[in-house]
A and B are shown apart, each in its own frame.
Chain A
Amino acid sequence: MARAAPALLPGIAVLAGLALLVGGALGALLAAAPAGASASLWGDTYLGRVIVFTLWQASLSALISVGMAVAVARALARRAEFPGRDLLLRLFGLPLVIPVIVAVLGMVAVYGQNGMVNRLLAGTGLPTGQFLYGLSGILIAHVFFNMPLAARLLLYAWQSIPGETWRLASQLGMSSGQIFRLIEWPLLRQVIPGVAGLVFMLCFTSFTVVLTLGGGPGGTIIEVAIYQALRLDFDLTRAVTLALIQIALCAAFVGCGLLFARAVSTAPTEGRLLGRPDVASRGGRIADALVIVVAAIIVLLPLVAVIGAGLRGPLVDVLADATLWRAAARSLTIALSAGVLALVLGWAILLTSRELRMRRRRPRAAEAVELSGSLVLVVSPIVLGAGLFVALMPLTDVFSVGLELVIVVNAMMGLPYVIRLLGPPLMRVAEQHDRLCDSLGIAGWNRLGLIEWPALRRPAGLALAVCSALAMGDLGAIALFGTRETATLPLLLYQRMGSYRLDEAAVTALVLVTMCLALFVVIERGMGGRGAR
């Protein structure tokens, strides 16, 4: 155990930092709570209903999103030459990073009373329907947000299947069904719990979507109750307690899900690319094409609505506005700083979980480390913001470090994505090269440069792109701390909306979407090398 402590250190340090930040924020808020009774949580039927609904909608959303993502990822894996596949995969990164309010209006334009779908139905004489407001609307929106990313994450599982496996499969003459059962499913079983857990957490706190598309207050999630407690009631104790309940429930649910994960060890491979044997059949080809087209429609229609609204808006006026470009520059600074920070911190967490999993054979401990890193996603942003504010107030002028705070908070929110995107390939590298590295004594920076980087640059590029784009589209953190004059793009968008200027807001959204897409292309190409996808 010569390499004992140092190998575990990076992740432990990051997690300790996270715990300090979150714990400090919640603790400071509790300490600031004015004396006096906080509304009791016991026997609160409203709260009981809210918790049940939160779990219900998040579970359903995760189930449907990941179920569809499996089908989509499989079809995409089988059809590497599908026309437009690369572009589609890039566009798959967008739904999650568009500001929620823009995406919601996009959903309305497609699925609403007067949306594309209903107009199409009316045009063909079919009965139109109202299905956007209620649980169905919440689910439609959550599939739009999460299915594409889940599909991208799952696609990696397929890409990790070594060529030798396919050679064996074709030698044995396996059918499509046998391939799924014997090759794909064991692998999926390893990654699905993590991906589903991520989607579950995202839907758990999806405040604006649930309120706006829920149709009425029947669809209330815990985050709304927190908002209510912290703002009008100013019941800090209740707000913090609810925030803790939210974290604990997510930890329990996602943790249980992870218990189903079974580690599959892969043997060293020659790294040869060989096609799978079951792609030639006509039926399979049609089925795959159908799945891909349906997925493309689900993702593209709302994006088309958002882009279309932007193109119809006062393009020239908005693009000529210097404020827009100042905000864009500021957003870019935040996006790249937060993205790089998230990548570094997430990598550190993964090094520790890899050490636990691979060398110490402690897979449960490794899962726990990764889950702790992901749970920041369900720390109520409004509680975190208020808590950080109170905690930092005695130490510094919070406004003067506002930009740094926003970067740190956005980086934290990116961690779960880094862990999901980079985790599996990082483990695989270790499986395939650990023995070689040990026998040749390759370690430290040498190992990073020679062994890890070539294998990881593509997923690392995607992780950086996703985290940067997320930070670019995030309004939450910047709104929490308050701003002086310089706005970010999402803030500018909200301000325009708040001032009746919805057409200008639509153009701002177009600029934001374009910049996010550019971030994806530039970072993935730049870091992943040519041919990255």
Chain B
Amino acid sequence: MIKPIAIVAGMFIAGMAFPAAAANHQPTLTVYTYSSFVSEWGPGPAIKQAFEADCACELDFVGLEDGVSVLSRLRLEGANTKADVVLGLDTSIMAEARATGLLAPHGVDLDHLALPDAWDDDVFVPFDYGFFAVVYDKTRLADPPTSLDELVNGDPAEKIVIQDPRTSTPGLGLLLWMQKVYGDDAPDAWAKLNARVLTVTKGWSEAYGMFLDGEAPMVLSYTTSPAYHAIVEQEDRFVAAAFTEGHYMQIEVAALVGSAAEPELARRFLRFVVSPGFQSTIPTGNWMYPVIELPEGLPPEFAALPRPAAALLIAPEAVAANRKAWIDAWLEAMSR
């Protein structure tokens, strides 16, 4: 009896040997965001360091599963939320977030932003943007699609892995992209595209993992994905296909929580969000485009990425009003 107890106790002590960070008495700014933003490989750590350098405060990131979870958490907590700022919502769920009434005007001057379309919103501060794209492996696909229409009508033997719009942000992005380009004909287009879909995954990671493992020559991702492979892996096999109809855009936003315990600190943070200190971490941290012209410019590898012919976006209110019906139509079309 002694030995097993000793083993278990030993393991416990090993587990407890890393104490939690010591508390300090500075004001704390709590920011809800998604987990990959605050991970070691995301922009979170550098942003925390830069902001804490002169705010005389502690920046406390809470990482949730994804942007939609940030909104769910905010809705569950209501006015009792611990969050001062939410960061990581996007244009497809902005209307719902606004309708909660839990967010307050930011009061940040956004005149210097360099987004594809002018941004004028008194609640949401954009912090990065990107374009959904079909990423392919050029060693396996000689004749990539050059338009959404070619993707839809192309050779069913050349497969693509996409994500489910019910569970994944890129999945919802493709749904809106198809909706924007095809309008009422979107269900028919989906029924055709279905022949090329190898499988529909729960999230981006499964789909991209399958693509990198060579399971399919195409995957739904972002125009910026090839930049990761070029910069980190010096690998140029992966290319984002430029589509003539334009690419659907995702703008990620942050907002001030109305019941924030530290409203002044929160506003200061939101001003920091659109400053170079925050924005310079975005290209190679979040693999998205910054919302301002960076003083140092973008990494050269970004120049090789396709710049969409048009930045497509459906107004957040229209997305909120129709999302359910569009998803139902998608389900029906994909089950034909």
Contacts and interface: CB of A to CB of B under 8 A. Distances in A.
A411 interface: no
A105 B210 contact: yes
Interface in A472-491: 479-480, 482-487, 491
Interface string A210-254: 011111111010001001101111100000000000000000000
B325 interface: no
B17 A105 contact: no
A211 B77 CA distance: 29
A156 interface: no
B179 to A, nearest CB: 16
Contact of B210 (A108, A214, A399): A108
Nearest to A325: B18
Contact of B80 (A212, A218, A393): A393
Nearest to A137: B199
Contact of B76 (A326, A386, A394): A386
Contacts of A213: 199
A212 B211 CA distance: 13
A234 B72 contact: yes
Contacts of B330: 217
A523 B194 CA distance: 48
Given A217-B200, A501-B41, A212 B7 contact: no
Interface string B195-213: 0011111101110111011
Interface residues of A, number: 72
B11 to A, nearest CB: 5
Contacts of A336: 8, 11-12, 15
A393 B24 CA distance: 23
Interface in A383-405: 386, 389-390, 393-394, 397, 399
Given A113-B215, A114-B215, A497 B68 contact: no
Interface string B68-80: 1100110111001
A108 B39 contact: no
Interface stretch (B58-66, B114-122, B123-131): B58-66
A207 interface: yes
Contact of A326 (B18, B63, B82, B334): B18
A32 B229 CA distance: 45
A522 B10 CA distance: 12
Contact of A495 (B12, B18, B32, B40): B40
A200 interface: no
A500 B208 contact: yes
A133 B8 CA distance: 42
Contacts of A479: 35, 64-65
B205 A497 contact: yes
Contact of B334 (A216, A232, A494, A495): A216
Contact of B12 (A216, A333, A492, A501): A333
A101 interface: yes
Contact of A522 (B7, B61, B65, B204): B7
B334 A218 contact: yes
Nearest to A115: B215
A113 B197 contact: no
Given A336-B11, A336-B12, A498 B39 contact: yes
Given A332-B11, A482-B73, A211 B63 contact: no
Contacts of B53: none
A496 to B, nearest CB: 7
Given A216-B200, A217-B331, A484-B60, A101 B93 contact: no
B215 A482 contact: no
Contacts of B14: 329, 332
A104 interface: yes
Nearest to A403: B20
Contacts of B73: 389, 482
Contacts of B194: 216
B332 to A, nearest CB: 9
A483 B63 contact: yes
A502 interface: yes
Interface residues of B, number: 73
B3 interface: yes
B330 to A, nearest CB: 7
B166 interface: yes
B39 A499 contact: yes
Contacts, number: 183
B242 to A, nearest CB: 21
A453 B4 CA distance: 13
B35 A112 contact: no
Contacts of A214: 199-200
A217 B335 contact: yes
B232 interface: yes
Contacts of B20: 486
A109 interface: yes
Contacts of B65: 479-480
A501 B215 CA distance: 17
A208 B202 contact: yes
A46 interface: yes
Given A329-B18, A498-B35, A499-B42, A133 B328 contact: no
Given A211-B201, A217-B331, A234 B63 contact: no
B16 interface: yes
A527 B5 CA distance: 9
B159 interface: yes
Contacts of B205: 101, 494, 497-498
B72 A46 contact: no
Contact of B167 (A46, A224, A522): A224
Nearest to A337: B12
A522 B3 CA distance: 11
B105 interface: no
A484 B61 contact: yes
B287 to A, nearest CB: 7
B213 A114 contact: yes
A526 B7 contact: yes
Contact of A333 (B15, B40, B197, B209): B15
A108 B166 contact: no
A64 interface: no
B334 to A, nearest CB: 5
A323 interface: yes
Interface in B210-260: 210, 212-216, 225, 228-229, 232
A427 interface: no
A110 to B, nearest CB: 11
Contacts of B225: 500
A216 B171 CA distance: 12
Interface string A422-466: 000000000000000000000000000000010000000100000
Given A108-B213, A526-B7, A211 B36 contact: no
A393 B75 CA distance: 13
Contacts of B262: none
Contacts of A389: 73, 76-77
B324 interface: yes
6 contacts: A109-B213, A329-B18, A330-B15, A399-B82, A453-B1, A486-B20
Closest 8 CB pairs of A and B: A333-B15, A495-B39, A498-B36, A499-B41, A526-B4, A497-B205, A211-B202, A133-B199
Given A101-B206, A393-B77, A399-B62, 16 more contacts: A113-B198, A114-B214, A208-B206, A220-B331, A228-B167, A231-B72, A232-B166, A234-B96, A330-B15, A336-B15, A482-B32, A482-B69, A483-B62, A485-B38, A498-B204, A498-B205
